[in-house]
Structure 1
Amino acid sequence: MASQDVDDSNFALHGHGVPLLVGLLALVVAFVAVCLYLRWACTRRRRRAADLEASSSAAAASRAIPGLDADAIKGLPVTLYSPTRSAGVKAGGGEEEQVVEAECSICISALVAGDKVKVLPPCGHCFHPNCVDAWLLAQPSCPLCRTTLLPVTAGGKPDVVNGGDSPV
């Protein structure tokens, strides 16, 4: 066997070889670009799924605190509503007494003097008994300011005993 010398003329491209090589290179670049895009899209989808799962588990944890039991709700004080009066300034410079009107923020109707209202002890907000009773069966907090009606433990978290059967 005779050895042949390798020179540059053996690697020269002539005729249709150049466009074929350019097309093949473009195909490889496009394939790599599609692979990188699919990798990015899959990673993004997994991250979104993980974020959604984390947020849904956090929402489930926040729903884990049940409302108050019926005995605790019945134990809240029911009184007759009397409008509060506040001092206002008259146009002439003197003071006049003004009646501050309140409303039940659950049914959005005005509280009239003599209506039965249930006053929540921690915050003093008042509501119609039927309105707030339905709320408190599902949520252990004031519907207006979200102050909890459950006793607070030393750790600063509401004390849930027997599924929320703790007295108020």
Structure 2
Amino acid sequence: MEFTKTLSFSLLFLSLLIPTMITAACTNAVCRRGDPIIHFPFRLKSHQLQSCGYDKGFDLTCGSNGVNRTTITLPFSGDFTVEMIDYAAQEIWINDPHNCLPKRILTLNLTGTPFAGVYARRFTFFNCPTSEYLRFRPLNPITCLSDKNNTVFATASPRVVNYMLSQSCREMKTVEVPVRWPFYEQAVSYSELSDNLWLTWRVPRCGRCEIRGGKCGIKSNSSRETICSDAHKPAIPRRARYAIAIGAGIPGTLIIFGLLCFIYSKINLCIKRRRLVPHSEINNTQAHSLQSSIMIMGLDGPTIESYPKIVLGESKRLPKIDDSMCSICLSEYEVKEILKTIPPCQHCFHADCIDEWLKLNGTCPVCRNSLEQIFPSENNILS
């Protein structure tokens, strides 16, 4: 009986230990200095075990045909170099090893891969006579697709598309191009093509594990179920952190409100005294003191309301790669929460949190940039 209990305990201990051992056996790999670090769900073929990757769609190599770079092969589109992998955001940035990404975009097909575009932006390619090149400035020509007789352009601007169609240009193709974030594209003149393709994967979902400092991997060789080992749980639960933030925020708001009331009473008193004293008796020192007592705090309602809102999706992708927590209430973002973006710096916050902040402060809580000074010009660019 005692032997049976000991055997059962040993089997239970091994069952808990084996998944961790499988995950720990998969060490990081890299093709060359400066290339992305490769670990689950990706696998460097001929360097890591089959179980170190999620499936064949995540297999990488160190290049071929003289290209000594981290390379991924898409079944219907060929080889691409891997410029960067963001495991927390579950994004991979790829490019053409022969430096003609627009040509590859024209035939891009993600069928049969675990990847999809982070965001899609519709671009139209045009072939125009080189002799009329100056007419299409400031569009940048795609050099690797052009020759001495024809110049190729690409644009995502409907206004520019209509103009090109009215000229002596031939429309080549309209394609959906994977981009990182729509705001970035809107801020670029005429919405030109970016330098990389931005792809994401939905499965396996290891982003939360990466954010917590854990190691994601397959639970066993016979299963596609994933586990997260060595993850660090937050010392304080979200609700507790939210309660602390609220508890600290209310007294802080009361103190600021009391300070504003005090300053207002002083300013009001100065104004009353000024009405009783002849203008000639107010010297320059008194006027300077009165001006320095006036404090401008916070933004007006229409400005705050004009900042763009975002409903957070399942992928939890935001403009800033490492943006996963509201720096005001110190709570992690949850799916379907309403966030608000500050356009000049692209920092995100809970909509309710940043609204209350901006009523009292005219700066970004993270970078402290003055929003009153730079928002109007940035807004003109985005329009």
TM-score range (shorter-chain normalised) is 0.3 to 0.5
TM-score (norm 2): 0.20
Q: Which has the higher contact order (CA 8 A, sep 6+)?
A: 1
TM-score (norm 1): 0.42
